[in-house]
Amino acid sequence: MSLFRIALKNLGRKPFRSISIILATLLACSLVFTGAVLMKSVKAGLELGMARLGADIMVVPADYEAKGSNILLGNEITSFYMDQRIEEEVSAVSGVMATSPQLYITSLQVECCTLPTVRLVGFDPATDFILSPWLRFNLDHEGEGYDPILVGANTLYATEGMFITFFGKRFKVKSAAAKTGFKFIDFSAFMTMDVARSMIKVSKTMAGLPLEIDNRQISSVMVKIDPDTDVDKVASGIENSVNGVKAIVSRKLVTSMRNDVEASLWGIIAVGVIGWVMTLFLMGLVFAMIVNERQRELGLLRAIGATRGKMIRLILYEAAILSAIGSTAGAVGGTLALDRLKSLFIMLYGTEIPFVWPSVPYVVVAGLFCVLAIIISCTATAAGPATRCANMEPYEAIRQG
């Protein structure tokens, strides 16, 4: 009979103790693994989302800084307005390289139906640099009897060719974006500024609740700055030069949210590390007990010819088997729990945090690293009791046992 089979049989003799060690290693591995993967996902998602958004600064009315931030982060469908001349004033500020206006309109909530509220965004294709990475504009609609609209992947209207109506105006979906993980895109519908103005006009006579928006009003000005200019100085210059506005630096939003989420994830990892350390103490204690309890058995094995090396390997095999089962189950369970944990963070922070899941090779390598680290460390804690076992004199071990 091989040492491996003997080790398996020995573990089966004490199922409660074996299961306890497996559960301890499972918990430690799953917490460390999922915390590390989620941290990388959140960091990559936030940075990619803001980088592809294209705007360095978002200029909004002074009293709507929080609402403007929530629009960028994607967890609020809201509307606010300011005079269109503000874009001209912003573009004149030193360090500003390009500007593009946007107009936010909240669709009607219809109590008789299940259609959700949608953020309608008017943009200027001639100056836009925000939506271009995400959507491909196809705005040729002359003589077709409708106006084009572009929709995000998570709207109920994300089917090309379907007709929809907002505020009495008829639209046809010209293109639907692929899912981006960025809620500002995925949950919005986009139209040109001219079409948005036309919809406002039509709503006066065709909608049950007309839109009270002036033709010279916009909601925000997206700003791209000169790469060699400090973004904070430009933001400060905008607020000092233009009355009644607030400049929101997109990078600070990323940093703030990332810090909040990473603090929670570091907490998960810390709990996992503490569990890991406690598991090591548990392994050392358990295998010290095993050596004491099985002195007679181990002495008999020595007496019938087992070498010191085989005795050490027998104890180490038992430790490695238990930690391998627990850590492997922890890595697999952690992988399956990633989507659940994502939903938990969305619920805690009240926003669709952009998660960019790492590649499969990265997840596999991270899982293998955690599994191997726990197997090696846990097996190492059994080295002391294993060495003491190997140094026993067979006669004394049998007599004392």
Residue 22 lies in a domain: yes
Q: How far apart are the first and last CA of the chain?
A: 23
Greatest mean pLDDT among 6-20, 163-177, 323-337 lies in 323-337
**Are residues 94 and 19 part of one domain?**
no
Instruction: Work out the percent of the chain whose per-residue pLDDT is above 90.
Output: 13
pLDDT of amino acid 368: 92
Checking if the pLDDT of 101 tops 90, the result is yes
**Are residues 18 and 103 part of one domain?**
no
pLDDT of amino acid 174: 77
Helix (H) or strand (E) holding 187: none
**Are residues 214 and 108 part of one domain?**
yes
Checking if the pLDDT of 178 tops 80, the result is no
Under the banding of pLDDT at 50, 70 and 90, the label for residue 328 is: very high
Residue 53 lies in a domain: no
**Are residues 89 and 193 part of one domain?**
yes
Residue 341 lies in a domain: yes
Instruction: Work out the percent of the chain whose per-residue pLDDT is above 70.
Output: 73
Residue 206 lies in a domain: yes
**Are residues 266 and 211 part of one domain?**
no
**Are residues 184 and 291 part of one domain?**
no
Regarding pTM above 0.85, the answer is no
Residue 247 lies in a domain: no
**Are residues 374 and 272 part of one domain?**
yes
**For residue 1, what are the contacts with CB-CB under 8 A and spacing of at least 6?**
none
Residue with tokens 């790469």: 227
Calculate the average pLDDT of the chain.
78
Rounded distance between C-alpha atoms, residue 104 and residue 107, angstroms: 10
**Are residues 178 and 288 part of one domain?**
no
**Are residues 195 and 107 part of one domain?**
yes
Residue 249 lies in a domain: no
Rounded distance between C-alpha atoms, residue 129 and residue 193, angstroms: 14
| Three-state DSSP state, 392 | coil
Residue 232 lies in a domain: no
Q: Where are the beta strands (DSSP E) in 145-201?
A: 147-151, 163-166, 169-176, 188-192
Checking if the pLDDT of 115 tops 60, the result is no
pLDDT-wise least confident of 252-256, 268-272, 328-332: 252-256
pLDDT-wise least confident of 15-19, 63-67, 136-140, 344-348: 136-140
Mean pLDDT on 98-107: 90
pLDDT of amino acid 142: 52
Checking if the pLDDT of 257 tops 70, the result is no
Rounded distance between C-alpha atoms, residue 76 and residue 68, angstroms: 9
Rounded distance between C-alpha atoms, residue 104 and residue 83, angstroms: 13
**Are residues 381 and 267 part of one domain?**
yes
**Are residues 136 and 11 part of one domain?**
no
For the chain, how many structural domains are there in total?
A: 2
Boundary-marking domain end, from 164, 194, 218: 218
Please give the residue that has the higher pLDDT: either 162 or 54.
Answer: 162
Checking if the pLDDT of 343 tops 50, the result is yes
Under the banding of pLDDT at 50, 70 and 90, the label for residue 112 is: very low
Residue 32 lies in a domain: yes
Q: How far, in Å, are 27, 131, 352 from residue 190 at the CA level? A: 46, 9, 19
Mean pLDDT on 313-332: 87
Where in the sequence is the domain holding 386, given as residue range(s)? 3-48+256-400
Q: How far, in Å, are 38, 376, 392 from residue 34 at the CA level? A: 6, 20, 43
